Amino acid sequence: MRMPEKTILQEMFSQTPLNEQDRSHWDRPSILINLACFFFLKFILIILAVSLPIPSGVFTPSLLLGAVFGRFFGYILRLIFGEIIHETTYALVGATAMTASVTRTLSVAIIVFEINGELSYMIPVLIGVIISYAISNALGNSIFDTLLDLKDLPYLPTIRTECFKLKAEDIMKVNFDYLRIDSKISDLNGLISAQQRMIPVINKEGCLAFSIDIQYLRKYLINYYQMNQHCFSYSVRDTLNIYFNYIRSINRDKNDDFEFIQNSTEESNVIKKNIFGTKTNDYIPVQIKRKNTHLHIREYAEGEEQESEEYDPEASDPDESILQSFWNAPIDWEDQIIKVDSAPFIVLPDTKIEKIVFLYSILNVIKIFVVKDGHLIGTITKKELLKEHYDRHNMNDLQNNLLEPGHQYPTAVGKKED
């Protein structure tokens, strides 16, 4: 147990017997007893190391554990059938099979080939990896998914085979926030507390032009106000300063923008009272909620949408013209602060769900946009992958119909549409 793992692996993969003179420590009292004791003790220690809140590896211990068990099994067969049995073959197959079943990685076979330098064992090693991978998938999750599940961390689980028929249009969100290419500064006001990170921007034809991170929009709004605040009177400026300080504080907290208002300190409660009070609302426009985003975009593309009313404060306000000019100014998409994503990830409505899961798992995208004939009709986030439109498909529990059972996943949190 005190020997380095590298030395033990070399001895397990060696062609020479373990009872040679330089390896005599394995035959006292017996090779079988030593291998069996090492396997069980190492197995228990690996379980303790993985379960404790300390850094510990999984790959190399699993490789070593499988090699010892394979050597143990091969030694028994050699005692029965004689010299025709090569213990090294069983050690290699055991190491790769054990590691593949624990980590669910097929590339472990290549790593073992590089360690041993023998390609003559390719067929038995590959067969052992495939069989162990299939059996472990049927029995449960990998060690990494299990640890994520035990710690209640969000992750994308494996989708069941019978749910591969689901398409992007079945899980996409049709009510979402967006901006137009001719949007005004007042349109940004309704997005400062948006929980979605990426905001789509459509052109006059209703097609997706690009997407932008919400934090850049907040920075742009704050910077635009700082450049124009000298135009306001002191009373208006003091009130708007509270509002824009609130936006600045939101941008510092990227994880939970909305909860900043709900769970706040005494100072934040004062900000909340001032922001949503009557006086502040005289200077800040209110966003009009869109009930059907898809129809709204289509009407905008067909030119049937009525122009939104421009911000018009009370006539008694001495800063009426200045405020009106401030909020009704168009957004400068070429500003240095604004960094747009001109090539967002888009899919068609009939895209299979396994491709969407692949994009999130491999490419780690933030949001996927669903387009039809070039027009934006929906968005998909990781939350939509964990929340299928059960109203449409009569599904009472997504965890029993879309995802592998036995997991607890966070539900999507967003604005409820009436």
Per-block average pLDDT, block size 10, for the chain (418 residues)? Answer: 79 79 70 89 88 82 92 90 83 92 89 81 90 89 82 70 77 85 82 76 87 86 83 77 76 44 38 40 49 56 53 54 80 87 89 84 84 88 64 42 42 35
CA-closest candidate to residue 372, choices 226, 167, 195, 234: 167
* CA 383 centroid distance within chain: 9
pLDDT for residue 409: 36
- Distance between CA atoms of residues 250 and 259, nearest Å: 10
Length of the chain: 418
**Residues in contact with 179: Cβ distance below 8 Å, sequence separation at least 6, in sequence order:** 187, 188, 191, 199, 200, 201, 202, 212, 331
Query: Which residue ranges does the chain devote to CATH 3.10.580.10?
Result: 168-401
> pTM score, two decimals?
0.59
CA-closest candidate to residue 242, choices 255, 227, 225, 259: 225
pLDDT for residue 87: 86
- Classify domain 168-401 by CATH number: 3.10.580.10
Determine the Cα angle at 28 with ends 27 and 31, to 5°: 35
* First-last CA distance in the chain: 65
- Distance between CA atoms of residues 257 and 255, nearest Å: 6
pLDDT for residue 271: 40
Ordered alpha helix ranges (H), 16-121: 31-51, 59-81, 87-103, 108-116
